[in-house]
């Protein structure tokens, strides 16, 4: 056998070994690390933290980074590439073909009074009377006499917009005599200072010195919103780019599936849609 023939024979003999090696699985190396930037208002900070902890248990190579931003700024952060996702309590307007927007969850809005107030249950019509200024004395509601002081979020705040849309569907507004504050914490604190005050806050901002009223016999709870029995709520929207990376899409799949829905419910939100 000449030298060239021997070289060919050696190469052919080695081929099965090379093929066998190439068919074996490469050592598993986890991809990443990945960082998903979530822009959201401070009212959603605890939700993002809960989602981050839950998702990290399933995807140890992925971190959710919370970026505080008001509604318009949060949507703009996604549009400009400064954030991968946004959670907004107001639907971005006008519609933008660069963004996909969908309702994610609903958060109950609680009507609150001072803990010393004797009122525990009100009808929707009674609430309308209080917040429009038609009812000015608590005696009209069958309790002891005393002036009614309405406490509200500022005009344009997502909580106020949702509250007026649900309670004052005839187009009327919260009374101009209301004391106006720029945060849920401030509203809750103000109501706690005096017996005759009444206000409204997101349900996870109930302080120890205020109590939530039943509305038409229903408490401001997730199950009531899910069942359609409690109608005072604020919608949280998921804002994402029309095209996103694989790691971001994986998180969206989780968020819209049963695992994410459980975190939403445990955080005080009623998920809007089953599955994706």
CA distance 82 to 94: 20
Per-residue confidence (pLDDT) for residue 10, from 0 to 100: 36
Give Dmax over CA atoms of the chain in angstroms: 116
Looking at residue 30, its pLDDT comes to: 58
- At the second CATH level, the architecture of 107-233 is 3-Layer(aba) Sandwich (3.40)
Please provide residue 18's backbone torsions phi and psi, each rounded to the nearest 5 degrees: -65, -40
pLDDT tens-place values along the chain, 276 residues long: 544 444 434 333 443 443 344 444 444 445 779 999 999 999 999 999 999 999 999 999 999 999 999 888 999 999 999 999 999 998 887 778 889 999 999 999 999 999 999 999 999 999 999 999 999 999 999 998 999 999 999 999 999 999 999 999 788 999 999 999 999 999 999 999 999 999 999 998 998 889 999 999 999 999 999 999 999 999 999 999 988 778 899 999 999 999 999 999 999 999 996 544
Tokens of 255: 């968020």
- Equal CATH topology for 34-106+235-271 and 107-233: yes
pTM recorded for the entire structure: 0.83
How many CB atoms within 10 Å of residue 101?
A: 18
* CB distance 188 to 201 below 8 Å: yes
pLDDT at 22: 43
Q: Tell me what pLDDT residue 208 has.
A: 85
Under 8 Å between Cβ of 191 and 199 = yes
Domain residue ranges in the chain: 34-106+235-271, 107-233
The CATH number that domain 34-106+235-271 falls under is: 3.40.190.10
CB atoms within 10 A of CB 126: 19
Matching residue, tokens 């930037």: 37
Please give the backbone phi and psi of residue 103, each rounded to the nearest 5 degrees, phi first: -65, 130
Cα–Cα distance, 250 to 244 (Å, whole number): 10
């Amino acid at each position: 056998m000449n030298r060239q023939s021997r070289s060919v024979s050696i190469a052919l003999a080695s081929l099965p070994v090379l093929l066998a090696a190439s068919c074996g699985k490469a050592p598993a190396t986890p991809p990443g690390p990945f960082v998903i930037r979530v822009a959201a208002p401070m009212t959603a900070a605890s939700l993002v933290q809960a989602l981050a902890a839950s998702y990290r248990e399933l995807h140890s190579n992925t971190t959710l980074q919370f970026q505080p931003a008001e509604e318009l700024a949060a949507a703009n952060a996604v549009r400009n590439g400064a954030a991968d996702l946004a959670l907004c309590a107001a639907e971005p307007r006008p519609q933008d073909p660069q963004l996909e927007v969908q309702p994610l969850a609903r958060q109950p809005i609680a009507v609150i009074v001072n803990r010393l107030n004797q009122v525990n249950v009100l009808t929707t019509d009674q609430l309308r009377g209080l917040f429009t200024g038609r009812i000015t004395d608590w005696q009209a509601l069958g309790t002891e006499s005393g002036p009614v002081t309405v406490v509200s979020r500022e005009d344009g705040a997502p909580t106020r917009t949702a509250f007026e849309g649900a309670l004052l569907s005839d187009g009327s507004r919260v009374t101009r005599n209301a004391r106006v504050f720029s945060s849920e914490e401030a509203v809750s604190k103000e109501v706690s200072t005096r017996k005759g005050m009444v206000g409204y806050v997101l349900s996870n901002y109930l302080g120890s010195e205020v109590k939530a009223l039943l509305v038409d016999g229903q408490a401001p709870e997730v199950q009531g919103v899910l069942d359609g029995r409690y109608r005072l709520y604020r919608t949280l929207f998921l804002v994402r780019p029309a095209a996103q990376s694989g790691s971001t899409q994986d998180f969206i799949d989780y968020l819209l599936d049963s695992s994410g829905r459980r975190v939403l419910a445990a955080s005080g939100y009623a998920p809007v849609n089953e599955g994706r």
